[in-house]
């Protein structure tokens, strides 16, 4: 498998599950990690999804007008895939066995994708993420704000804009939750950030496959944006809805 400079875990997980029933995406993409690097992506390259029912392979409508399955699986008429995808991903994560526990039982993790996302797909207004806190069942005592890939594949201007946006989010959450320990998690480790989201008792994300796939694997309360397409904000919004289990979308 060819070594790539970028480690895009969300895309790797997408390809890992999608290759089982959508042949339009190259299986080699699952191996888009350094061979000698111990990563969850490398682990997935040797694993087969545990729950990929035959009806997904046979449903032509599921992949109609799509070059990859990820384009489809957030829409209402395709949400039947979530239980199967979630089972497979959770099984793989358990087998990998390197998840750190949350800081407290009332920890909220917030992930707003920035970096190159700002100029490629656009990002959400931070006010929407802060307002989503009102939908949580309990009040967080700890809030961990991910740096959202601020350093990933962007120029100095975009890097500065990313940090300003994350700092704005920090200030707004701190004002909303004055008694909580609110902090930014500075990390360049995609696996650590992913597992932090997966294991969060409460999770609020912006757009992007990386965070939303983490929401699928998470077992706590999850809130993701009510978008027509979770990867492209300019496609517009949808009404708020229940996705499955304890996962809902919030207005944006």
Considering 107-116, 170-179, 186-195, the range whose residues carry the highest mean pLDDT is 170-179
Q: What is the pLDDT of residues 140-180, one digit of tens each?
A: 999 999 988 777 767 788 788 888 999 999 999 999 999 99
CA atoms within 13 A on the CB side of 137: 12
What value does the mean pLDDT take over residues 71-80?
54
**Could you give the angle at the alpha carbon of 19 between the alpha carbons of 117 and 223, nearest 5°?**
45
**CATH classification code of 107-250:** 3.40.50
Range 140-169 burial, b when 16+ CB lie within 10 A, else e: bebbbbbbbbbbbebeeebbebbbebbeeb
What value does the mean pLDDT take over residues 23-51?
67
d(C-alpha 25, C-alpha 23), whole Å: 5
Q: Phi first, then psi: what are they for 225, rounded to 5°?
A: -70, 145
Considering 25-34, 190-199, 226-235, the range whose residues carry the highest mean pLDDT is 190-199
Helix (H) or strand (E) holding 131: helix 126-132
Please report the pLDDT score of residue 233 as a whole number: 81
Please report the pLDDT score of residue 198 as a whole number: 95
Q: Which segment of 41-50, 70-79, 86-95, 233-242 scores lowest on mean pLDDT? A: 70-79
* Secondary structure letter of residue 107 according to DSSP: E
* 49: number of Cβ within 10 Å: 19
Question: Which one is predicted more confidently, 62 or 51?
Answer: 51
* Secondary structure letter of residue 5 according to DSSP: S
Considering 28-32, 42-46, 83-87, 214-218, the range whose residues carry the highest mean pLDDT is 214-218
Secondary structure of 16-29 in HEC code, one letter for each residue: HHHCCCCCCCCHHH
Please report the pLDDT score of residue 24 as a whole number: 45
> Above 50 in pLDDT, residue 106?
yes
What value does the mean pLDDT take over residues 195-202?
96
Q: Tell me the pTM.
A: 0.88
What value does the mean pLDDT take over residues 12-21?
74
Sheet containing 107-111: order of strands = 181-185, 142-146, 107-111, 202-205, 221-225, 247-250, 242-244
CA atoms within 13 A on the CB side of 236: 3
For 186-207, give the DSSP string: ----HHHHHHHHHT-SEEEE-S
191 CA to centre of own chain: 12
Helix (H) or strand (E) holding 184: strand 181-185
What value does the mean pLDDT take over residues 125-133?
95
pLDDT band at 34 (very low <50, low <70, confident <90, very high): very low
Please report the pLDDT score of residue 102 as a whole number: 85
d(C-alpha 31, C-alpha 28), whole Å: 5
Mean per-residue pLDDT of the chain: 81
Domain boundaries defined on the chain:
9-96, 107-250
């Amino acid at each position: 498998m060819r070594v790539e400079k970028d480690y895009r875990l969300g895309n790797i997980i997408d390809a890992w599950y999608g290759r089982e029933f959508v042949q339009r995406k190259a299986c080699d993409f699952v191996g888009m990690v350094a061979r000698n690097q111990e990563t969850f992506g490398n682990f997935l390259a040797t694993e087969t999804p545990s729950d990929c029912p035959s009806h997904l392979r046979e449903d032509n409508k599921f992949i109609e007008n799509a070059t990859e399955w990820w384009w489809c699986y957030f829409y209402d008429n395709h949400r039947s895939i979530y239980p199967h995808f979630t089972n497979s991903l959770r099984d793989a994560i358990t087998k990998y066995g390197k998840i750190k526990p949350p800081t407290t039982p009332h920890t909220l993790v917030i992930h707003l994708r920035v970096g190159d996302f700002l100029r490629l797909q656009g990002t959400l207004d931070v006010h929407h993420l802060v307002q989503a806190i009102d939908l949580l069942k309990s009040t967080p005592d700890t809030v961990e704000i991910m740096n959202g890939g601020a350093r990933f594949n962007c120029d100095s201007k975009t890097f500065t804009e990313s940090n300003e946006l994350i700092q704005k989010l920090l200030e707004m959450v701190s004002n909303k939750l004055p008694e909580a320990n609110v902090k930014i998690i500075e990390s360049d480790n995609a696996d650590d950030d992913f597992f932090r989201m997966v294991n969060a008792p409460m999770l609020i994300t912006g757009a992007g496959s990386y965070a939303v796939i983490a929401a699928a694997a998470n077992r706590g309360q999850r809130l993701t944006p009510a978008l027509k397409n979770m990867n492209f904000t300019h496609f517009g919004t949808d009404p708020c809805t229940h996705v499955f289990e304890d996962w809902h979308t919030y207005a944006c």
